[in-house]
Structure 1
């Protein structure tokens, strides 16, 4: 799957490398053309307290399979904002059982029913009301999870082909909460990930809705926070 790796053996860097002043340019240069599994091997050899964030969107199961294959007990952060489709909730149950996920669920301090009753449901995009909504149902629970778990590495499943913002990122980037974000599938295409799901006979979810994005190629806000 994905680009061919170089024949060079990928050894860990000396000392602790995942810190906020890490030389990410060198790491990204070193892993150009590397397979996602090699990026994962390197990350797990050097991370002290890695975590995963997922929203169980379509094809996210491939990333979860890749990560848990390298570290089965890694904490998997999921923010249950309360607006998922019934199919997504059933899909999550299947994936948790299939991969035996160490799932850490975080919920907003205000339930979806409470928010809808007080504020009248999901606000329109690109308004101050929607900014408040996103902070309430997704960003605050995510920040709480990061404060609780104190990771040095935040693994996520972003790819370069998902939107314009992500195209300008890389495998290793600066994350919030003093983390280094690692995206082992960053250089793959959607078809590569679809093939991974098919080849590994993984359950997928194709009825998905993220109320903080509204549109498929928008950012939900997590990658935009400093």
Structure 2
């Protein structure tokens, strides 16, 4: 049986040569659910990344309503609060999450013993710490799962770097990053959590950020 000519093959929507400017313009005023539905329909192998921070439950709820079995990547750096671990266990049961947990090759206890704990921000030591406990496990997850689309819950109002992004952007590992809630404000997400009676995680700590509006590093990698 003869193969189809290249021109007859279906065209992928999400690839690094895609016209993201046109997509962002098309979905400028779309609801997060509309962006999500389009993405799930067009993506070949989408994944979600989450850290289960406050209000992240809204994004997970939105995604899993559209695709309940979507792989959910979580990097357990070992410095999470007890409340965060209990929150994760609850969402695994409530949402039936297809959770893929990745941990650093060096445990938090091992790192603390050898390097003396979390180093100060904006130092070479902290860069090494971030690569060890978050970036390396995340990169390993992406290499294992090989997604074409990386769904995430970032918004324009979270920090200066994210303000300059958009719903559809180019990510690392050849992915297209899609942020269905990008144009929402924090109050909009709070209302989503309230209206859907979702459990939230109020006691959270990210050792790679240190400050609430500081970028953790995943979005800065190419």
- TM-score (norm: length of structure 2): 0.95
Shift of 1:17: 1.0
Q: Does 1:192 align with 2:188?
A: yes
After TM superposition, the structure 1 = structure 2 runs for residues 1-226 of structure 1, keeping only pairs within 5 Å, are 15-226=11-222
Shift of 1:60: 0.1
- Tell me the distance in 1 between the aligned counterparts of 2:47 and 2:54: 20
- Tell me the distance in 2 between the aligned counterparts of 1:66 and 1:96: 15
Unmatched tracts of structure 1, length 5 or more: 1-13
Query: How many correspondences in the alignment?
Result: 213
- Tell me the distance in 1 between the aligned counterparts of 2:91 and 2:190: 16
- Tell me the distance in 1 between the aligned counterparts of 2:205 and 2:76: 12
Structure 1, residues 98-131: CA drift from partner, whole Å, max 9, x if none?
A: 1110000000000000000000000000000000
Unmatched tracts of structure 2, length 5 or more: 1-9
Shift of 1:96: 1.1
DSSP-derived class of the 1:15 partner:
coil
Shift of 1:15: 2.1
Moved over 6 A (4+): none
- TM-score (norm: length of structure 1): 0.94
- Tell me the distance in 1 between the aligned counterparts of 2:200 and 2:131: 28
- Tell me the distance in 2 between the aligned counterparts of 1:165 and 1:175: 14
- Tell me the distance in 2 between the aligned counterparts of 1:198 and 1:94: 17
- Tell me the distance in 1 between the aligned counterparts of 2:163 and 2:139: 24
Shift of 1:69: 0.3
